[in-house]
Structures are given as structure tokens and as C-alpha cells.
Amino acid sequence: MRPTPRIAVLGSTNMDLVAYVAKAPDRGETVTGREFRTIPGGKGANQAIAAARAGGDVTMIGAVGADDFGVRLRGALGESGVDTGRLRTVEGASGTAHIVVDDEGGNAIVVVPGANATVTGLAPGDAEAIEATGTLLLQLEIPLDGVLTGARTARARGVRTILTPAPAQPLPAELLAATDLLVPNEHEAATLTGRTDPYEAAESLLEQVPELIITLGSAGSLYADRSGTRLTVPAPQVKAVDTTAAGDTFVGALAVALGEGRAMPDALAWASAAAALSVQRPGASASMPARAEIDAAVRP
């Protein structure tokens, strides 16, 4: 029996407003969609739900607004097994993400932060909640001050930090210095380094973080660390319906696998299977697989 990993997530909660279209509109163009859905999301909440469904004991730290979306977001996290005791409610609107998904499974997203913009630091009790876990997951949909405070707190208390640098932006050296594992996709890695080749980007990023994983979409993932380890793990080949939150599913499942003490090749393969399952279904949190599904997908 593997241990149950304890994971904290400091990040965003958004209501995803999703329009499904044959082809995304060009600038100035209007197209007719075939379907619209409101789906709980946000990179923080997505990673929390993914990790909980994969078998983690997960605490969500962040904020929702005092509106109907906030009630629904809190409920969706709780229904997935995420502890929402550290998820505060603030005046005003919850965060929203306005998403267009085309028939190829691609997406374009506009995020309006709402309540997420208030998470500029930790509330009383948040540091203790982080200390009680083994891993802190971070992203960049809350203010950078909040991300940095979380990373510093985790580092000071011996908790592993896994940072998803999205939306892509230049990062302060202090944040990278407090990051144990960086998980950009290939576009984010290029933004951070100016190098479009993921292998060159990995070498550059290792000057700032001790280990990293660059996700490569349907091509799989690349792992590298300062000891010289280099791994490439292919992704299962599937027909994508909606790639929204595939990266968050990968990170949530990865955190569980590493928290269980799995070797990196096994952890990467398991996380890749989870992400492949998620892209075959519409929606963000709604698409994330349960642990039994992931296990079945990787079983020989």
C-alpha cells in the first residue's frame, strides 16, 4: 500500500465560461458556437481536483467571490475531495476564464482574476496548512507576491515546491530559487529562456532551478536535473476533444505520484496517462480522471 500524499495548492479558482466552435474566430470575426458550458476551473483549483482524484489528500488555499460562482467553485472542490477550509470568501466577483474550444481540441483563454487578485499573501493558518503537507503546488494566476510568499514559506518549512509558470511571464530570481521542480510547457519554457528548442531551454533553466519537466503536448515530456539526468517520456496517442487543463491534470497526478515515492520515469508515465485521459473529455475539472482510470490506462 502506497502512502497517501498530503498536498497543498496555493492558486486560482475560476468559473470557466466555455464556448465550443468549429473554428475559433479571427480578430473582428463573429462565429456561431454549437454549445456553451459553465465549468469550475482555474489553474489552482484544477490542480487540486486532479491531485485529489488521483488519490492525494489535498488542501486548497485561495479565494472566491461572494457570488453564485464562488458557491459553485467551493462546492466543486469539496465534491472532488479537496479540503476547502483555507479557501476564503471575499467581497466582489469570483475569477472567470472565458474559453473558446475548437473542433481540433485547441483553445484560447481570457482570464479575469476577480477574487484571485486578493491573494497577495497568506492568511492566518495558511503557513501551518502548508507545513502539514509534503508538497506545495503553485501557478501564476494569483498575484506574484502571493506566489512568492507561498514558495518562501514552503522552503522555510521543508515542503517541496512545484511551480507551473503559467500564464508565462518573467519570474524573479527569488521565486526560482525557492522552486524545487519547475513544470513549464514548451511555450512557457521558451518565454522564460528565449530558446525555442525545449532541450536548450531545459539546460538554460537548470541554471535557476534544480530540476524541471517541460511538457511537450502530444510529444510527451522532458525531465532534466542538475545531476545530469535526462528523460523523455512519450504521451499516449489519443484523439483530443478539449486540451483545457491537460497540463494541470498532469501536474496534479505528478504530485501524487512523487508524493507516493515513485521513481521519476514511473511518475511521468502515470501523469501522462492522466493528462491523456483528460483531453478526451470536454471541460477542465469535469475531464479529470479518477485514480482507478489512471491505473487502468498504464496497466500492461
User: What residues make up the domain containing 74?
Assistant: 6-23+34-289
| pLDDT (0 to 100) of residue 287 | 79
Does 287 appear as a known binding residue?
A: yes
pLDDT of residue 173: 95
The predicted pLDDT at position 154 comes to 98
Q: Is 244 annotated as a binding residue?
A: yes
Confirm whether residue 242 is marked as ligand binding.
Answer: yes
Say if 295 falls within a structural domain.
no
In-domain check, residue 80: yes
204 contacts: CB under 8 Å, gap ≥ 6: 193, 195
Domain assignment present for residue 113? The answer is yes
Of 278, 247, 277, 252, give the one whose Cα is nearest residue 267.
252
Closest CA to 290 of 300, 278, 279: 278
Query: Is the torsion defined by CA of 267, 270, 276, 278 positive or negative?
Result: negative
Q: Is residue 142 part of a domain?
A: yes
Nearest-angstrom CA–CA distance, 70 and 76: 10
The residues that are catalytic are: 248
Q: Is 105 annotated as a binding residue?
A: no
Q: Could you give the number of structural domains in the chain?
A: 1
Q: Is 218 annotated as a binding residue?
A: yes
User: What is the pLDDT, as a whole number, of residue 195?
Assistant: 96
Helix (H, G, I), strand (E, B) or coil at 152: helix
Considering the domain boundaries, does residue 203 fall inside one? Answer: yes
Residue 114 covered by a domain: yes
Mean pLDDT per 10-residue section of the chain, whose length is 300 residues: 92 94 93 93 95 98 98 96 98 95 85 96 97 98 97 97 94 96 96 96 97 93 97 87 84 97 96 92 77 89
**Residue 284 has what pLDDT?**
61
> Is 29 a member of any domain?
no
- CATH code at 194? 3.40.1190.20
- The length of the chain is 300
